[in-house]
Amino acid sequence: MSLSEQQAAALSAETVVVAAGRPPRERDQPVNPPLVLSSTYFGTDALDPGDRGYGRYSNPTWDPFEEALGQLEGAELPALLYASGLAAVSSALSLIPAGGVLVMPTHSYSGTLVMAAELAQKGFIDLRTVDIADTNAVKAALAPEDARARPAAMLWLESPTNPMLGIADVKALTSAAHAAGAIVVTDNTFSTPLVQQPLALGSDVVLHSVTKYLAGHSDVVLGALVTSNADIRSALLHHRTIHGGIAGPFEAWLALRGLRTLALRVERSQQTAMVLAERLSTHPRIESIRFPGLRTDPGHGRAKTQMKGFGSIVCVQVAPVAGLDGAKAADKLVQAVELWLPATSLGGVESLIERRRRHVAEPVSVPENLVRLSVGVENVEDLWSDLKQALDTLGG
């Protein structure tokens, strides 16, 4: 592959995202890795660790993306690519021993919460949910003062959280988790490795829904896990191989293609999100706003210390208007936009808008009138004009 670990460490992330995972610099080699469509590989001897052998074990098309993402996250090992973000979540949760305690944010991604809750209902794990922005509460959940309560086996972090944009003190919490004997998994989907590197902040495993910012074009469904711990990676690889949550080679090829423009997309969308958040914060039809880039946001100070930027997700609560409660006003806003796309997902080049509580799995603590905005790369004035006209339809 094109970049060694040492070379990647010496370059900016904006360069690594373009240069990593390329074929050897040899005469007549392609500039981009080829797509390999094969379910099996030739061989006669006993399989050694690292041999391809069979399509569920490995694929040459996975390798460049896994190398690139590992280097972007500052890991000492390549990432592991999965069939979806939730396939990666399942693999990460498999690291919890039977009956072990999982501490998880109350406002984690709803799919992650559902999976954890189902495991708890079956007695496989003990689940404790907590406000991840409340450092003392998280520490208490990790190592309860009651001697009869077991310490945690895993701390699950999202920062910012989905969709409430809560900011965790990642360094403090990873330190507390390790002191309690827990492994730390951080979902870095919202931030991307260009904005936040959880491994450098103490996390053991980093998770991505590759579907979102990394692939960036709303055309693939993939997930990934990253770690520098060889034993953890071996356990995760075994789970992926045996449980079959593997990526398709074409999806992996598309994801690497999308990854090349990550720095440009993140830079543009973050700048636009900041402008839109500032304007929305003073609009009379907005009841409240969450965006860590705003100085008034409760997570602003923390975000400044551990993030390079503030991400591209803005969440607002729409104020009730005459004849409409907040939820119906939020629905009307979503229905009135013409450029923003009402859809479930985030991180693509297009700007998406959605009232989150339309999903039955969303935690009830998420306000009914909360609207999540995933800011894309369109012109900022066009995006604002569309939002403004939609807000104007609410009257008042």
3-state SS class at 289? strand
Q: Do residues 199 and 75 make contact, with C-beta atoms less than 8 angstroms apart?
A: yes
Q: Is 139 a catalytic residue?
A: no
Closest CA to 271 of 303, 298, 309, 214: 309
Q: Do residues 71 and 8 make contact, with C-beta atoms less than 8 angstroms apart?
A: yes
- Alpha-carbon distance of 261 to 270, in angstroms, equals 14
**AA letter at 184:** V
Give the number of C-alpha atoms closer than 13 A to the C-alpha of residue 319, restricted to the C-beta side: 18
Find the catalytic residue in 212, 265, 290, 355. 212
Find the catalytic residue in 52, 54, 56, 304. 56
Q: Is 109 a catalytic residue?
A: yes
Strand 183-187 versus strand 154-158 pairing type:
parallel
Closest CA to 103 of 74, 72, 141: 141
Give the number of C-alpha atoms closer than 13 A to the C-alpha of residue 80, restricted to the C-beta side: 31
Q: Which residue has the tokens 């104007």?
A: 392
Q: Is 213 a catalytic residue?
A: no
| Per-residue exposure over 178-210, b if at least 16 CB sit within 10 Å of its own CB, e if not | eebebbbbbbbbbbbbbbbbbbebbbbbbbbbb
Q: Locate 248 and state its tokens.
A: 């398709």
How many other C-beta atoms lie within 10 A of the C-beta of residue 67?
23
Question: Which sign, positive or negative, has the C-alpha torsion 163, 184, 66, 197?
Answer: positive
Name beta bridge partners: 37: none
- Alpha-carbon distance of 387 to 333, in angstroms, equals 8
Query: In angstroms, how far is CA 396 from the centroid of its own chain?
Result: 37
Find the catalytic residue in 63, 187, 297, 386. 187
Q: Is 27 a catalytic residue?
A: no
Find the catalytic residue in 63, 82, 109, 355. 109
Q: Which residues are the active-site residues?
A: 56, 109, 187, 212
